Structure 1
Amino acid sequence: MAALNVLVYSGPGVGLDAHAYLMRTLRQFLSHRYAVIPVGPETLGREPWESKAAVLVVPGGRDLPYTVAMNGRINERIKAWVHKGGRYLGFCAGGYYGSARCEFEPHTSLEVVGDRELALFRGTCVGGAYPGYSYKSEDGARAVEAIVERDAFNVPGAIWQSDPTLVRVYYNGGGFFLTDGLAGREAGDDGVSVLVRFPPDVTDPYDRSKQIRGAPAVISCKVGAGSAILSGLHPEYAWDFLAPSSYTQPHNRGLVSLLRSHDASRRRLLGAMLRHLGLDVDPEALVDCPDPQHSQRAPRATPMFLVPARASSVADIANTLYVLNSIATQQGDRGSAGAIDRVLADTMDDIHVANAATGDARRRVDGCYQDAVLRPEDPGPPPPSTCATATVSESGGGRRHSLLVLCTQGTLPGTAETPRFNMHQTVEYMRHARAHTAGSWLMYADTTWSTQTFLEKNLKLQAQLPDGMVFVATRQLAGRGRGKNAWISPAGCLQFTMLVRHPDLKQAPVVMMQYLMSLAVVEAVKALPGYEGIPLRLKWPNDIYALLTPAADSDASTDLPDHGFAKIGGVLVSSSYKSGEYTLLFGCGINVANRLPTTSINSVIREYNSAHGTGLAAIPVEKALALITAKFEELYRQFLAHGFEPLLKLYYRSWLHSDQVVTLADRDYEQARVVGLGSVDGQLRVRSLANPGATYSLQPDGNSFDMLQGLISRRA
């Protein structure tokens, strides 16, 4: 199983700013392939995170609360995981914490001195490297001129371009590492490489009159089969995170401008650190920024276009457009845009509603109007904060502004406005793959936060959208998976949320609806002539897998996910109930056309062609959407009439779990063998290996990482 999770410690002790800056930077560098996920001590201690974690990152803050939260079982798990090949990255407090001993500000009121049990670096981290640190201000911060030891990184030389070896990097309170290169002091262990050194003005916290020349600022440690990088610097801090007014001391005036002038080199330094750990870094994060005003090119949402796709009734189309216009309140004129602003103040977003202009030659929405509505989401740098004493929340605050553009058949946006998704072609595919309700309307945004969250939280808009409406986005900034998981959204991934209103019917229990969508994804491909043998599989309850290298005569229906299979998609369902009807939001993400992060439907088709001598065509993302929604409606109509029982044979034909052995977490980890799926409650049916007469129904134990690592049972 590919390790695709970047876990960021978010528990007691974490600095709020340090955490926020780190999450934003890691997502810029890694979200093309990895899910960057905040995790607290409870998750690290109880859930099976190890098999899917690519790296554990511990940000700056206070090291001592880290020990309180993670000493014992959690540190044992982290250390064992790293020894087996895991990777650890610690910044500032995370660097102190990853060392065998921390000596911070000795003989002062800030003193924190003691051994650390994680000890990935078996030496001591001593700090601060510079005097003046304060928990309540930025007085101790500096733009340090770090000395980069490029040869130690063992990464392609092209990453550095024409960068200097002296790079300005943000520093505030970090330490230096006592390695064999510091004679006369306690040394570290073999397998340690110095990646970056402090300049010669670093002083000894035990005697500030004494300079420490060549003090290691960033080190790499071999730990069994794994590795760790510990840093006393903050290369994850970009200059535009910071407020110049916070830096008033003689040693840090001009800090922001110094960091700004070295920003490209700072980003490539961080990229080299990540690559040194074996991570795949997005090349876009390493290039010189074309916008000198923003180092990180903070992403922003784009307009949403709502168009009739399968809806054909002129009256229905006109009524939908009228209702959506009428629920928005007129707010006045937008000035230079010259457009009347109608705003739907919804639960989460202020949704600005506009009508597309008629005529193919005219621009659909005035650019000034778009800029006025979709202003940058980042309100600017927050004031310096103290360190957190509780788990960091990812929810954030404040209202967002969204632009919803209502289109008719003649005002579909062209490729100039939706360059990564052809809406004209999508509508053609939708009409060719015949259905009535599913995909009746199509809403598309090139970039949004989350299609699922937008529809889930904006209840006024949701109530007026037609049944079967599908919201598609090319890029999600905060895509959601099951539980606390994030969803990776690389180019070529089809991600959408479909709105379905489902009656409360005894013969069609709502709990089984999640299986219809995952089954529809697999069957939509296999129903194409010649594609019947494409090895797509279902993992209970709602994940889609593909066999990576199918053989011509393979029958992989009983293989387990770890044996040659890779996840390519999943389904997330949220629901509400009112007046005898469920409102369901099916969030679906399927990697159709990108080999990253694991494989894709089209990659599997190419492998199948090579193994079988066939010439099956790749499936465009737009066509995949049409096929999946049409197949869902076909299955849904059968489900409404006859329930899920008649669909079980079709479901079993593609699932991964025949005769699979699972663990019962609530029965002293008793082993049991899967015998089937409940057609009414959707739970796994298993038979005890120790007592074949005992059968159980299983449900998830609530962990976020692997549904089948531990299951809660009840006697069937």
Structure 2
Amino acid sequence: MAALNVLVYSGPGVGLNAHAYLLRTLRQFLSHRYAIIPVGPETLGREPWESKAAMLVVPGGRDLPYAAALGGAINARIKAWVHGGGRYLGFCAGGYYGSARCEFEPGTPLQVVGERELGFFGGTCVGCAYPGYSYTSEDGARAVEVAVERAAFGVAAAAWRDDPERVRVYYNGGGFFLVDELGEADAADVAVLARFPPDVTDPRDRTRLVSGAAAVVSCRAGRGRAVLSGLHPEYAWDFLVPASYTQPHNRGLVSLLRSHDAYRRRLLGAMLAHMGLDVDPEALADCPDQHHSQRAPAATPVYLAPARAAGVADIARTLYALNSAAANQGGAGCAGVGNQVLQDTADDMYVVGAAPGAGQRRVSAEYQDAVLRPEEPPAPPAGQQAYASATVGEARAARRQSLLVLCTHDTLPDADEAPRFSMRAAIEHMRAARAHTAGSWLMYSDTTWSTQTFLEKNLRLQALLPDGTVYVATRQLAGRGRGRNAWISPAGCLQFTMLVRHPELKQAPVVMMQYLAALAVVEAVRALPGYEELPLRLKWPNDIYALLPSAADSDAAADSDPAADRDTPGFAKIGGILVGSSYKSGEFTLLFGCGINVANRLPTTSINSIIREYNSAYGTDLPTLSVERALALITAKFEELYRRFLVHGFKPLLSLYYRSWLHSDQVVTLADRSHEKARVIGLGATDGQLQVRSLSGSGAVYSLQPDGNSFDMLHGMISRKT
């Protein structure tokens, strides 16, 4: 199965800064292919996370709260998963916790000594490697020059070019691993990846120097692997505040880390590659001209233009309403750049027009820089409180600043402003597809946090936008899936949110709209001449799957593993639908979030890959799709189906839906009914519930809610979400 989730432990004991820095770094290195998902003890203890997880990462913090929150059954699950082929990465406290024994500052008021259940490193992790650690300050921090054991990385050693063998890395409170004290069997499973310099002292006797102390170890655990680190290679120099480092041993810490930052990044990249993860090459590049360790992703301007809107009056009315709403705020402006601000419920939106005429159309770089700031590291908590005693989520919600650029047909962004998506081409395709409402206006941003969140949280903007407005982004920094899932958005993936205002109608229940949207994605492609037999399918309730080529000619393809990766016959997920809704005065405001792999080979496969493979197998010459054309086709098909749905409901569309869905006569296991076996018999046309008939003697029919149950396709398991 394609395991694409990188889980970051976010429960009791986690250091707030350690957690925030880790999330940012992992997204830089891995978000091109993996979803970076914070998880607490509840998720690790109750949900079936193992089949989708590529790695579990435990950040710095306090080891004892980890043991209290995860001890017993949860640790047993983690350990079994790693031994079965999973990966564990522990930094600082996560390194102590992954060892068989922790000895932290023995004989001092900070002492934490005891056995640990995971035991990926079969010996003891002893710390601190350097004296002076404090929970309430940065006094114990150092820029440690570690010796990298390149040969131990295997093929991952190719990450280095002409880098030095000694690399400066942030250190604060970590331990070293007593490899020499392991028995012969345990030692055979351990490789030292990096060693501390010879100034490390033994915390059990600070007069004794420890030569060649292991700073990072790689441990084979059954079929899996654990990498444990007493260092913080996930810390970049520009995360840190120089004024925090006032001790003789760390006053130059930030400048030292800055000078070795490219080497530090390649060390971390090699650690991840050594564990078998696919690392984004951009995260490893030299950045000599940048003011940051790596250019921090930032939101880009949001361009809004009429696409299918027919009337000049309608266009003028919308532009006037947006300008008026912004002008009426009378704000003080941003860094002296103006006061056309729409102060919404989540964002302060600086509204500008893209004026026509040579040299006037673009929004100046100075204005953009003043409004759109890069992601900033979190400020240290008040009183230097560095650790959390409860679950830590993402960085605390704060108001963001957005730049909304109002465009007309002659002021659309060009290839320099929007190099990865052509609004002009998208609008041309939308007009050719001859829909009216769906895609009436087009919003686009090269990079945003989440198209769904932006429209969902900014209620004033949502109310001003015309029905059918579509917001597209090339890259989402925090794309969302259903439940706690994230959505990965590599280049070539089409992700958008469409605003639909739906009247309360008995014959067209709102619950069926999610099925309508998913069906529109599949039918938009399969309705094209020659594309009818492309193996695109629907998974209940609203995921899009594609049959991989190795299974396409098999009579048993429908019974094979639908969640398998490219090496296993079966299906791979290529898209999904997320629906948010609100209700007022007899009308639903629906936000359809759609992510579909159009042209990206990773992380699973894509529509264009399937088209090319179909051409190869059947000797056809079907053109691939651009994301702009795919957007036009999907929105037009949605409108076509929606008009039928408004009049006749979903029942006449069921045969079309069944033609593409994966579940006809599928036998499933009902986890919440004592693992009773049942057979899928259909979908409720008015309530959207999955109908299954028990295979026991009673033959009872059960109805399963789409928003209350999770369908694990790999194991044919349906269970209630927790």
TM-score (norm 1): 0.96
- What residue is the counterpart of 1:300 in the other structure? 298
8 Å CA contact 2:688, 2:706 repeated in 1: no
Answer with 149-158 or 374-383: which moved more. 374-383
Shift of the 137–610 alpha-carbon distance from structure 1 to 2, 3 Å rule, reads: same
What is the CA–CA distance in structure 1 between the aligned matches of 2:347 and 2:413, rounded to whole Å?
23
Residue 366 in 1 paired to residue 364 in 2? yes
- What residue is the counterpart of 2:516 in the other structure? 516
Q: CA deviation at 1:672?
A: 1.2
Shift of the 702–503 alpha-carbon distance from structure 1 to 2, 3 Å rule, reads: closer
| 1:59-98 map, 5 Å | 59-98=59-98
- What residue is the counterpart of 2:676 in the other structure? 670
- What residue is the counterpart of 1:467 in the other structure? 467
* CA deviation map 1:197-218 (0-9, x unaligned): 0111111111000011011000
| 1:515-594 map, 5 Å | 515-549=515-549, 553-554=553-554, 556-557=557-558, 559-562=560-563, 563-594=569-600
* CA deviation map 1:300-348 (0-9, x unaligned): 11111101111121111111111111111364797998x7531000000
What is the CA–CA distance in structure 2 between the aligned matches of 1:502 and 1:61, rounded to whole Å?
48
Aligned counterpart for 1:348 among listed residues 346, 349, 357: 346
What is the CA–CA distance in structure 2 between the aligned matches of 1:22 and 1:137, rounded to whole Å?
19
What is the CA–CA distance in structure 2 between the aligned matches of 1:380 and 1:63, rounded to whole Å?
23
Answer with 197-206 or 292-301: which moved more. 292-301
* CA deviation map 1:398-418 (0-9, x unaligned): 211101111112211211211
What is the CA–CA distance in structure 1 between the aligned matches of 2:253 and 2:343, rounded to whole Å?
41
What is the CA–CA distance in structure 1 between the aligned matches of 2:709 and 2:107, rounded to whole Å?
44
Name the amino acid aligned to 2:325: I
- What residue is the counterpart of 1:396 in the other structure? 396
8 Å CA contact 1:558, 1:657 repeated in 2: no
8 Å CA contact 1:700, 1:710 repeated in 2: no
- What residue is the counterpart of 1:111 in the other structure? 111
Shift of the 212–553 alpha-carbon distance from structure 1 to 2, 3 Å rule, reads: closer
Shift of the 430–196 alpha-carbon distance from structure 1 to 2, 3 Å rule, reads: same
Residue 711 in 1 paired to residue 719 in 2? yes
Name the amino acid aligned to 2:534: I
Number of residue pairs the alignment of both structures matches: 710
Aligned partner of residue 675 in structure 1, secondary structure: strand
Shift of the 165–379 alpha-carbon distance from structure 1 to 2, 3 Å rule, reads: closer
What is the CA–CA distance in structure 2 between the aligned matches of 1:150 and 1:462, rounded to whole Å?
53
8 Å CA contact 2:189, 2:219 repeated in 1: yes
Shift of the 637–701 alpha-carbon distance from structure 1 to 2, 3 Å rule, reads: closer
* CA deviation map 1:342-379 (0-9, x unaligned): 10000000011111111366433222222222133426
Aligned partner of residue 341 in structure 1, secondary structure: coil
Q: CA deviation at 1:252?
A: 1.1
State, as a whole percentage, how many aligned pairs show the same letter. Answer: 75
Q: CA deviation at 1:663?
A: 2.4
Name the amino acid aligned to 1:385: Q
Shift of the 494–528 alpha-carbon distance from structure 1 to 2, 3 Å rule, reads: same
- What residue is the counterpart of 1:639 in the other structure? 645
Shift of the 546–342 alpha-carbon distance from structure 1 to 2, 3 Å rule, reads: same
- What residue is the counterpart of 2:566 in the other structure? none
- What residue is the counterpart of 2:631 in the other structure? 625
- What residue is the counterpart of 2:239 in the other structure? 241
Aligned partner of residue 608 in structure 1, secondary structure: helix
* CA deviation map 1:580-609 (0-9, x unaligned): 000000000011001011111000111111
8 Å CA contact 1:243, 1:381 repeated in 2: no
What is the CA–CA distance in structure 1 between the aligned matches of 2:67 and 2:476, rounded to whole Å?
35
Aligned counterpart for 1:322 among listed residues 311, 315, 320: 320
Aligned partner of residue 81 in structure 1, secondary structure: helix
- What residue is the counterpart of 1:211 in the other structure? 209
What is the CA–CA distance in structure 1 between the aligned matches of 2:434 and 2:679, rounded to whole Å?
40
* CA deviation map 1:364-398 (0-9, x unaligned): 32222222221334266535432111000215232
What is the CA–CA distance in structure 1 between the aligned matches of 2:574 and 2:38, rounded to whole Å?
22
Aligned counterpart for 1:604 among listed residues 610, 631, 654: 610
Aligned partner of residue 328 in structure 1, secondary structure: helix
Name the amino acid aligned to 1:653: R
- What residue is the counterpart of 1:688 in the other structure? 694
What is the CA–CA distance in structure 1 between the aligned matches of 2:710 and 2:664, rounded to whole Å?
23
* CA deviation map 1:655-687 (0-9, x unaligned): 111122222232112121111111111111001
Q: CA deviation at 1:13?
A: 0.4
Residue 199 in 1 paired to residue 207 in 2? no
What is the CA–CA distance in structure 2 between the aligned matches of 1:683 and 1:627, rounded to whole Å?
28
- What residue is the counterpart of 2:276 in the other structure? 278
8 Å CA contact 1:557, 1:655 repeated in 2: no
8 Å CA contact 2:710, 2:719 repeated in 1: no
8 Å CA contact 1:48, 1:705 repeated in 2: no
Shift of the 496–395 alpha-carbon distance from structure 1 to 2, 3 Å rule, reads: same
What is the CA–CA distance in structure 2 between the aligned matches of 1:472 and 1:416, rounded to whole Å?
18
Q: CA deviation at 1:290?
A: 4.0
8 Å CA contact 1:560, 1:656 repeated in 2: no
What is the CA–CA distance in structure 1 between the aligned matches of 2:467 and 2:683, rounded to whole Å?
29
RMSD: 2.0
Q: CA deviation at 1:423?
A: 1.1
Aligned partner of residue 154 in structure 1, secondary structure: helix
Name the amino acid aligned to 1:588: C
What is the CA–CA distance in structure 2 between the aligned matches of 1:311 and 1:564, rounded to whole Å?
42
- What residue is the counterpart of 1:386 in the other structure? 386
Name the amino acid aligned to 2:118: L
What is the CA–CA distance in structure 1 between the aligned matches of 2:214 and 2:377, rounded to whole Å?
36
| 1:394-433 map, 5 Å | 394=394, 396-433=396-433
What is the CA–CA distance in structure 2 between the aligned matches of 1:480 and 1:500, rounded to whole Å?
19
- What residue is the counterpart of 2:266 in the other structure? 268
8 Å CA contact 2:167, 2:264 repeated in 1: yes
8 Å CA contact 1:518, 1:544 repeated in 2: yes
Q: CA deviation at 1:700?
A: 5.5
8 Å CA contact 1:479, 1:487 repeated in 2: yes
8 Å CA contact 1:62, 1:93 repeated in 2: yes
Shift of the 191–705 alpha-carbon distance from structure 1 to 2, 3 Å rule, reads: farther
Aligned partner of residue 235 in structure 2, secondary structure: coil
Aligned partner of residue 234 in structure 2, secondary structure: coil
What is the CA–CA distance in structure 2 between the aligned matches of 1:229 and 1:673, rounded to whole Å?
43
8 Å CA contact 2:103, 2:126 repeated in 1: yes
What is the CA–CA distance in structure 1 between the aligned matches of 2:711 and 2:188, rounded to whole Å?
34
| 1:483-522 map, 5 Å | 483-522=483-522
Answer with 543-552 or 414-423: which moved more. 543-552
What is the CA–CA distance in structure 2 between the aligned matches of 1:415 and 1:706, rounded to whole Å?
42
Residue 477 in 1 paired to residue 483 in 2? no
- What residue is the counterpart of 2:308 in the other structure? 310
What is the CA–CA distance in structure 2 between the aligned matches of 1:497 and 1:701, rounded to whole Å?
19
What is the CA–CA distance in structure 1 between the aligned matches of 2:593 and 2:125, rounded to whole Å?
46
8 Å CA contact 1:674, 1:685 repeated in 2: yes
Shift of the 279–702 alpha-carbon distance from structure 1 to 2, 3 Å rule, reads: farther
Name the amino acid aligned to 1:58: V
Name the amino acid aligned to 2:140: G
What is the CA–CA distance in structure 2 between the aligned matches of 1:188 and 1:552, rounded to whole Å?
45
What is the CA–CA distance in structure 1 between the aligned matches of 2:75 and 2:334, rounded to whole Å?
58
Contiguous gaps of at least 5 residues in structure 1: none
Name the amino acid aligned to 1:534: L
Q: CA deviation at 1:553?
A: 4.6
Residue 22 in 1 paired to residue 26 in 2? no
What is the CA–CA distance in structure 2 between the aligned matches of 1:404 and 1:554, rounded to whole Å?
50
What is the CA–CA distance in structure 2 between the aligned matches of 1:427 and 1:438, rounded to whole Å?
12
Contiguous gaps of at least 5 residues in structure 2: 564-568
Name the amino acid aligned to 1:162: D
What is the CA–CA distance in structure 2 between the aligned matches of 1:711 and 1:684, rounded to whole Å?
13
